[in-house]
A and B are shown apart, each in its own frame.
Chain A
Amino acid sequence: MSIESAARAAVARPEPRAGLSLRRLLDRSLGLISFVLLVAALEAGLWLFGVPDYVLPRPSQIFLALVRGFAPPILSPSQYYVNIGTTLIEAVASFVLGSAFGTLAGALIVEFRSVRRLALPYIVGLQSVPKVALAPLFVVWFGFGIESKILLGVLLTFFPLLINTAAGFSAVERDRLELMTSLKAKAWTTFWMVKFPSALPFIFAGLEMAAVYSILGAVVGEFVGGNSGLGVLILNRNAAMDIAGSLAALVILAVMGIALQRAVAFARQRVLFWAPSNDALDTRDPE
């Protein structure tokens, strides 16, 4: 360490805030910096080795494909906007419906022994079927429109919610229930005041999974048979050997997935302010 830098360090020490905030800035921009480096390396590498576009296009070409796709004004019947709209509607609809049914079913199964006896064998059976294998049948039964995709998405999101909700209701602290029993609370009162809030952390874990599955359901459904959506766009671009266009659609799907997940995380933070976060992938600053 030079005398000069030692002196600078000594001067800097009385104001740890400046150093800290610089480090924090670095820490926060780490993701962005590494992304930029990665993209630059890819661009240079693919160009240097002369990899053909129809095998793996350069990032700049994917970017250009995105620009071309989004260029037409919003209300024009551009491929992009229609396809994005279709997939988004399918994903959100299956997320909402599948989560609602899954939560309801999970609660009913734990709360009522007769429902459990009646439904559990079917649920276990259905759960062991790979749900995407049903996609071709759904297209036959419900057509090429969004209905078949929404139903596939509902089937995919239903189970994580059912399983997590059931686990949440089973894990309610016994003392909390005994407290309500000592007050001779009605079953319904105990449900709303104690059981449901206690199960919410589990339910949100299920919602986070459902956010991913809902998009998966939409795209797989579109692959199998559809006339609109990002899955259809990917198939079309592939057929035209336009790999850059295909990857551009993938980028949009990724952004859509992240947006849905962030929406769930935001809701979780609002609703579960009282529960410690158990998100191992949480990169926010511990405050």
Chain B
Amino acid sequence: MIAAPKPTRVDAQPPGAPAIQVQGLVKTYRSQREGTVRALEEIDFTVADGEFICIVGPSGCGKSTLLKILAGIVPHSVGTVLVRGKAPRDADNRLGLVFQAPVLLPWRTVLQNTLLPAQVLGLDRAASQARAHELLRMVGLEQFAASYPSELSGGMQQRCSITRALLHDPSILLMDEPFGALDAMTRDTMNLELQRIWRESGKTIFLITHSIPEAVFLADRVLVMSPRPGRIIEEIRIDLPRPRDLDTMSEPVFAEAVRHIRRLFGIGAQDRPHVD
């Protein structure tokens, strides 16, 4: 469904190559108050093409920094970072990016916001329009195409930011706590929706969350990070069949994975589900 209106993909890559390769990554910030801040320490991981990766870790451990490095927004200090075999800043790497806040442009309608990447990348107008309408239909926003962001609820705005991230059909989607600001019910719906989008489109998804159950529910693999300076302290493969639904959450494998990650953070199994 999502791949239906054709050739907008701007970043095809050789099959089998990893989507993301990170080796010996170190990131230090220079800040006015604290001098140099070591945000990330010796990070190594690889993400296969089409894989769904979730990152969990305590607040301030460098999750957003890692994502911004992958997006080419922030330069890294030491190590190798390859996105689709190229530097993150390479002009070919036009990833889909979703923030915790919707970051819609208030002077643009929902449709115009969705079409932003098409304008930036100079994609074909008619094809992009068709695809935008299709994406808006998919997330239930087609009646609001002509509305302005201020007229939408937070959940609707976030759905619009997802259609924008998908418009140019990027092969990699980076998401930084995309559902953190939503209520629990909307969040469940969005998780199911995201899983469906991922399965139908074959995209690689790299998603940061502070909810351990959300990570286990969505991911093929969960990367667990330590407090600052952030390192990856464990990789947990989640062997739950797809498609997963809300019943998946009551399966023993699910519960065991959640409990295991909580223990890594030193939280008792009875504790609250959120790390931070």
Contacts and interface: CB of A to CB of B under 8 A. Distances in A.
A274 interface: yes
B150 A274 contact: yes
Contact of A193 (B71, B73, B103, B119): B119
Contacts of A182: 71-73, 94-95, 97, 174
Interface residues of A, number: 18
Most chain A C-beta atoms within 10 Å of own C-beta, residue among B94, B101, B106:
B106
B91 interface: yes
A285 interface: no
Contacts of A184: 72, 89-91, 93-94
A201 to B, nearest CB: 10
A183 B148 CA distance: 22
Interface in B65-115: 68, 71-73, 89-91, 93-95, 97, 99, 101, 103, 105-107
B103 A175 contact: yes
Given A178-B68, A274-B106, A183 B120 contact: yes
Interface in A214-265: none
User: Interface size for chain B: under 10, 10 to 19, 20 to 34, or 35 or more residues?
Assistant: 20 to 34
A197 B108 CA distance: 10
A99 to B, nearest CB: 20
B116 interface: yes
A179 interface: yes
A225 B121 CA distance: 56
B117 interface: yes
B120 A180 contact: yes
Contact of B99 (A175, A189, A275): A175
Interface in A166-189: 173, 175-176, 178-185, 189
A132 interface: no
Most chain A C-beta atoms within 10 Å of own C-beta, residue among B73, B101, B119:
B73
Contacts of A185: 120
Contacts of B121: 183
A42 interface: no
Contacts of A189: 119-120
A194 interface: yes
Interface of B: 68, 71-73, 89-91, 93-95, 97, 99, 101, 103, 105-107, 116-117, 119-121, 148, 150, 168, 174
List 7 tightest A-B contacts by C-beta distance, closest first: A182-B97, A274-B106, A182-B71, A175-B103, A274-B107, A185-B120, A184-B91
Given A182-B73, A193-B119, 9 more contacts: A176-B103, A179-B97, A179-B103, A183-B94, A183-B120, A183-B168, A184-B90, A197-B107, A274-B148
17 contacts: A176-B105, A178-B97, A178-B99, A179-B99, A180-B120, A182-B71, A182-B73, A182-B94, A183-B94, A184-B72, A184-B93, A184-B94, A185-B120, A189-B119, A274-B107, A274-B148, A274-B150
